[in-house]
């Protein structure tokens, strides 16, 4: 039998910090999605070096800072070790 594991992808760092502070979903794996992509340039292929360069410029940060804030928290998503993914985005215009 396959053990079910859920990854909760939250609407940004503020929601992530709130959930942690309130012990909501305690014991569950949660990650913040810290990129809106509702303005500025992007590329067809997500998360490539070209994508990171363009998005870093949009946010006025270095590619390293963009990677630290946006991509590093998403590493669990890329591991493909989850049987379920739950998105917590609600009615936020950026999502």
Give the dihedral sign, CA 58/63/64/70.
positive
CA atoms within 13 A of residue 46's CA, in its CB half-sphere: 7
Please compute the mean of the pLDDT values over residues 53-82 and round it to a whole number: 95
**In the predicted structure, residue 1 carries a pLDDT above the cut 70:** no
Residues 6+ apart with CB under 8 A from 49: 63
**In the predicted structure, residue 2 carries a pLDDT above the cut 90:** no
- Write down the pLDDT at residue 4: 77
> pLDDT tens, 5-62?
999 999 999 999 999 999 999 999 999 999 988 889 999 999 999 999 999 999 999 9
**In the predicted structure, residue 74 carries a pLDDT above the cut 80:** yes
């Amino acid at each position: 039998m396959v053990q079910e594991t859920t990854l909760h992808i939250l609407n940004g760092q503020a929601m992530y910090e709130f959930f942690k502070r309130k012990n909501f979903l305690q014991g569950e794996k949660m990650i913040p999605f810290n990129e809106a992509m509702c303005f500025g340039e992007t590329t067809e292929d997500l998360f490539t070096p070209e994508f990171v360069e363009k998005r870093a410029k949009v946010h006025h940060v270095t590619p390293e800072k963009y990677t630290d804030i946006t991509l590093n928290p998403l590493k669990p998503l890329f591991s493909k070790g989850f049987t379920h993914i739950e998105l917590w985005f609600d009615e936020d215009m950026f999502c």
